[in-house]
Amino acid sequence: MTACFQFAFSSPVEGMEAEFQRWYSDEHLPHSVRLLVVEAGQRFARVEGTPWPAGRHHNLVIWELAGDPATAIETLLASHGTQAMPISPAIDMSSVQPPTMRLLRRFAAGAESEPEPASRGQLLLAFLNPAEGADAAFESALLDGGLREFAGLPGAGATSLWTLTEAQLRGSARKYRYLLMFEADDSAALVDALTRPADRLAAIPHGDAQRMFAALFEPLTPRVAA
């Protein structure tokens, strides 16, 4: 199972929402997983109403990349707009924000583990930045106990920490350095545990609470594998 994912956010061109959704699920998803550098993909839609700043994108696809991310990105760029990966005019390409991230650590059922090759249910994604100059301290705070504590919260399910790879498809992907991903068993219980009595995400040691967003996503499609 790969431990390098691309979290690709995008939006439709105004007035072309239905075509965007059809193309993404029926064409772009199966086309992309035929490329040797993409092991699988799954689409998600943002759930409204979470208490944190949630960004402007409602559509997410998680691509599971094979091998070196720089090679995968080079292949994706070369395939874009070709017969191998036709692009619909329904997608607003200026809106695409596709951070490619590698796994640092994941906990499931109280133990450290790798991601499993299965369709995911609801996800709570928290994209985070450290305070200025505090990258190492921020990462250490999560890896040396913080991540395990998050994984033990009610409704958390599996919890993992990811960081940006050096190679990225475009500059917009570098907006957030880290991702805390919750594979939620009970999203309502998880949001409650993260926000009461205080916001646990904003309180992560050495984090920048002004440069983060967190949103809940629900699956639109099953995981599609090559």
**pTM for this prediction:** 0.95
Q: How far apart are CA 39 and CA 41, in angstroms?
A: 7
Domains of the chain with bracketed CATH = 4-225 (3.30.70.100)
Is 1's pLDDT higher than 70?
no
**pLDDT of the residue at 38:** 96
Note the pLDDT tens digit of each residue in 17-51. 999 999 999 999 999 999 999 999 999 999 988 89
**pLDDT of the residue at 2:** 55
Position 41, amino acid: G
4-10 and 100-108 strand pairing: antiparallel
